[in-house]
Protein backbone atom coordinates (compact mmCIF):
# COMPACT_ATOMS: atom_id res chain seq x y z
CA UNK A 1 0.00 0.00 0.00
CA UNK A 2 1.44 3.36 -0.96
CA UNK A 3 1.40 6.59 1.06
CA UNK A 4 -1.57 8.08 -0.82
CA UNK A 5 -3.67 4.97 -0.13
CA UNK A 6 -2.78 5.07 3.57
CA UNK A 7 -3.72 8.75 3.77
CA UNK A 8 -7.03 8.01 2.02
CA UNK A 9 -7.80 5.24 4.49
CA UNK A 10 -7.01 7.54 7.41
CA UNK A 11 -9.42 10.15 6.01
CA UNK A 12 -12.14 7.51 5.55
CA UNK A 13 -11.58 6.22 9.09
CA UNK A 14 -11.77 9.74 10.53
CA UNK A 15 -14.94 10.43 8.55
CA UNK A 16 -16.55 7.24 9.83
CA UNK A 17 -15.71 8.22 13.40
CA UNK A 18 -17.32 11.62 12.86
CA UNK A 19 -20.39 9.98 11.36
CA UNK A 20 -20.62 7.59 14.31
CA UNK A 21 -20.39 10.51 16.76
CA UNK A 22 -23.11 12.37 14.86
CA UNK A 23 -25.37 9.30 14.97
CA UNK A 24 -24.81 8.98 18.72
CA UNK A 25 -25.67 12.66 19.14
CA UNK A 26 -28.89 12.23 17.16
CA UNK A 27 -29.85 9.13 19.14
CA UNK A 28 -29.14 10.96 22.38
CA UNK A 29 -31.33 13.89 21.27
CA UNK A 30 -34.20 11.49 20.57
CA UNK A 31 -33.91 9.85 23.98
CA UNK A 32 -31.51 11.67 26.32
CA UNK A 33 -31.84 9.12 29.12
CA UNK A 34 -31.08 6.17 26.83
CA UNK A 35 -27.70 4.61 27.54
CA UNK A 36 -25.72 4.01 24.37
CA UNK A 37 -22.92 2.01 25.94
CA UNK A 38 -22.80 -0.91 28.36
CA UNK A 39 -19.53 -0.74 30.27
CA UNK A 40 -17.55 -4.01 30.56
CA UNK A 41 -16.65 -3.45 34.24
CA UNK A 42 -18.32 -2.44 37.51
CA UNK A 43 -18.35 1.32 38.18
CA UNK A 44 -20.11 0.77 41.51
CA UNK A 45 -16.76 -0.46 42.85
CA UNK A 46 -15.28 3.00 42.25
CA UNK A 47 -15.27 5.45 45.17
CA UNK A 48 -17.35 8.50 44.15
CA UNK A 49 -17.26 11.78 46.11
CA UNK A 50 -20.17 14.26 45.89
CA UNK A 51 -19.14 17.67 44.52
CA UNK A 52 -20.82 20.88 43.39
CA UNK A 53 -19.91 22.41 40.03
CA UNK A 54 -21.01 25.42 37.98
CA UNK A 55 -23.71 23.25 36.35
CA UNK A 56 -24.91 21.59 39.53
CA UNK A 57 -24.03 18.54 41.61
CA UNK A 58 -21.88 15.73 40.30
CA UNK A 59 -19.64 12.96 41.61
CA UNK A 60 -15.87 12.78 41.29
CA UNK A 61 -13.47 9.84 41.45
CA UNK A 62 -9.80 10.27 42.17
CA UNK A 63 -9.63 6.60 43.21
CA UNK A 64 -6.57 6.14 40.97
CA UNK A 65 -5.45 2.79 42.42
CA UNK A 66 -8.88 1.21 41.83
CA UNK A 67 -8.82 -1.24 38.90
CA UNK A 68 -12.34 -0.29 37.79
CA UNK A 69 -11.39 3.42 37.80
CA UNK A 70 -8.37 2.59 35.65
CA UNK A 71 -10.48 0.48 33.27
CA UNK A 72 -13.11 3.21 32.92
CA UNK A 73 -10.39 5.76 32.20
CA UNK A 74 -8.81 3.58 29.50
CA UNK A 75 -12.23 2.74 28.02
CA UNK A 76 -13.19 6.40 27.73
CA UNK A 77 -9.81 7.37 26.27
CA UNK A 78 -9.75 4.59 23.65
CA UNK A 79 -13.40 4.02 22.78
CA UNK A 80 -15.50 6.97 23.80
CA UNK A 81 -13.53 10.13 23.06
CA UNK A 82 -13.15 11.02 26.73
CA UNK A 83 -16.82 10.75 27.75
CA UNK A 84 -19.53 8.10 27.80
CA UNK A 85 -23.14 7.65 28.87
CA UNK A 86 -23.94 4.33 30.54
CA UNK A 87 -26.21 2.91 33.24
CA UNK A 88 -27.99 6.24 33.71
CA UNK A 89 -24.81 8.29 34.16
CA UNK A 90 -22.72 10.58 31.98
CA UNK A 91 -18.97 10.06 32.67
CA UNK A 92 -16.12 12.33 31.61
CA UNK A 93 -12.37 12.75 32.17
CA UNK A 94 -11.07 15.91 33.80
CA UNK A 95 -8.26 17.88 32.18
CA UNK A 96 -5.68 16.24 34.47
CA UNK A 97 -6.27 13.06 32.44
CA UNK A 98 -6.87 10.81 35.44
CA UNK A 99 -9.82 12.17 37.45
CA UNK A 100 -13.31 11.05 36.40
CA UNK A 101 -16.59 12.87 36.91
CA UNK A 102 -20.13 11.59 36.58
CA UNK A 103 -23.67 12.87 36.90
CA UNK A 104 -27.08 11.43 36.05
CA UNK A 105 -27.44 11.48 32.27
CA UNK A 106 -30.85 13.15 32.46
CA UNK A 107 -29.14 16.22 34.01
CA UNK A 108 -26.70 16.74 31.12
CA UNK A 109 -27.49 18.74 28.02
CA UNK A 110 -25.67 17.81 24.80
CA UNK A 111 -23.91 21.19 24.83
CA UNK A 112 -22.70 20.69 28.41
CA UNK A 113 -19.73 18.35 28.35
CA UNK A 114 -18.46 19.01 31.89
CA UNK A 115 -20.05 20.43 35.03
Across 34-60, average pLDDT: 83
Whole-prediction pTM:
0.61
Distance CA 9, CA 66 (A): 38
Q: Answer yes or no: do 44 and 16 share one domain.
A: no
Could you list the residue range(s) of the whole structural domain that residue 87 is in? 34-115
Q: Answer yes or no: do 39 and 94 share one domain.
A: yes
Q: Answer whether residue 112 shows pLDDT above 60.
A: no
Q: Answer yes or no: do 41 and 84 share one domain.
A: yes
Q: Answer whether residue 57 shows pLDDT above 50.
A: yes
If one counts the domains in the chain, the total is 2
| 92 Cβ neighbours under 8 A, 6+ residues apart | 76, 82, 83, 100, 101, 102, 113, 114
Q: Answer yes or no: do 21 and 76 share one domain.
A: no
Q: Answer yes or no: do 39 and 92 share one domain.
A: yes
Q: Answer yes or no: do 45 and 26 share one domain.
A: no
Amino acid sequence: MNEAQVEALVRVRDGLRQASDAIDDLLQLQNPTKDLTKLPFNVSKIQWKPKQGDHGPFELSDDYSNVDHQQLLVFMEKHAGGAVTSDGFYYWIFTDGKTIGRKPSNQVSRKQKTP
